[in-house]
Structure 1
Amino acid sequence: MAETTERVLRLLGLFETRSVWTGPELTGLLGVTTRTLRRDVERLRELGYPIEATPGVGGGYRLGTGGRMPPLLLEEDEVVAVTVALRVGAQGISAIGEPAVRALAKLDQVMPPRLRGEVVALAEATAVLPGLTDEVDTGVLVVLAHAIRDRVRARFGYTSRVGDQVERDVEPYRLVATGRRWYLLGWDLRREDWRTFRLDRMAGVRASTFRFTPRVAPDPVEHVQQAIRRTGDAHRVRVRLTADVEAVRRRIPEQYGTSREVSPGVTEVTSSADDLGMLARHLTMAAFDVGARLEVIDPPELRGAIDDFTDRLSALRAP
């Protein structure tokens, strides 16, 4: 049985490396008869792999397109490449963030220590340009994803909005990506209530061995949205750009700011963040990208933050 399983897996690996194989090629590589090859192909079909067979000259076997995604066999270098790409996707692209975290958790579960070391080394040697999404340690994402899947408590240090640092012990239920930040919805054991936690404010995240029975949880997306509306960001700003509203909306998506036309060719943008300097950077670059002049409506402090940013850019130019 072990020999048959190993041979079938090797056959699957061959199908994933080339579009078409002839029968004689496969029997020669596997060292089997034509009858055994046909049986192995049928075993793969029973597992959901759509192996197609074409008779005659120029025919052969190929891995076709099925109605569902069967498991893939990846070489070690492919595992490293996929994992690093998922780490970047989880941080920077909200549309694939949550599926990327789930995939990372699965890979982390089965990855040999040697490959994990290669992933860490490559990730540490890779720089990602800052965008509108706050940077989150993908290690934190993977730990929390495991805790959610295994239904075990998570523990971490947490910095509150006012700067207080406390230890939290929670039952983690769901990770939520808002486009700008990652949040965890969990049952706070100390406060005995549902709470949302920003991942960028966590430290020392670890999964415990204490299992919990799932409670009836609120809708995670709605709960996080309500929490954001209640707490808000430290800075809320309004600016005007001399650009068409549609052009501005393409550059500043809804999750990062609200754009409305105040007159033809003039758009007002409302945005918020905890870091005024970050707002200054993003709005200045947005104005540059759409070829617009930027006028600060409020608060006045934003003008100083924009001046600081443009001064630093000027200092970067070669003399």
Structure 2
Amino acid sequence: MADTSRRALRLLSLFGSRRQWPLRELATALGVSERTVRRDIETLRELGYPITTVHGPDGGYRFGAGHTLPPLVFDHDQALAVAVALQTAPSTVFGLGDNTARALVTLEQAMPAALREPMKSLRLTRLQNYWEFPAPPIDSTALTAVGAAVRHRHVLVTETLRADGSRPASGDDDFLPARRIEPHHLVVWAGRWYVVAYDLKDDQWRVHRVDRLHPRPTTHPFSHRELPCDDLASFVMSSHDRGDTTASWQCTGSARLNLPADVVARWAPGGSVVEHLDTEHCRLTLGAWSWAGIAGILATFDTELADLHPPELAQACRRIARRMATVADTEDRSHLS
């Protein structure tokens, strides 16, 4: 009876994630025979759950339209997934740190004892890796406004903010007039929120940092557009003018690379800025914990470098070059001997 009850709850959780399931897939997910699944389905029907049979080669079962599952029907693995996700998700939105902690407590209180104990056993301390390049958290109001516009396909009127979140005044060098955009997709990459949008003034696709936008919702609808490329991730990562700003580091430097901006933007670390110079050259500005660290990242692009700033970065490149030359000479002598 206990096994039957556990499988019934597992079945409900499966129907919560997808309304229709082939019989074979349900049996595989539960690790039982198809005959056992049929019996468990009948058990749920006797309890009043509207599960209908779907006939045909891909037949199976469907949870009745117009009905809702009871709230918080989690199995053991789902409960652990929620506990881990709430504790390890990076804090990229202002004020959500306390909310995630409260959400975890609320979920634990709603869980049966058998699931509550495994969730409580996973109390984690998340440490930041120095190779992470986190962005400052963004205002949940702006994120909600952009997300709602994406969902409802409503035009947004946006102003571009400074890197510190302030709004430039008319006449300032960095002032940009408000623009009307069609927001199509929200994307999270390297701890930063981006919106892929069609700019109605320039008639072209752009990628915007959500934390650099001051959005004003409208009720003006727009129609679906085909993206400029099939790969959304590639489009976001290769857009050099997506509004990124240099992360705060002990050392910050830049160099001119003999590569197109879209190539460098795709592989540059988060928290760096790529400036388009011409079709074959760009400038990369980035930070690290040492000048040698910046030089090492620049070396990964395997191209000619020029116009290095500041002088400390150029000196670090020369030191690394001498060290590498010494290693090469030592290897050559060892082979000759």
State the TM-score, normalizing by the size of structure 1.
0.40
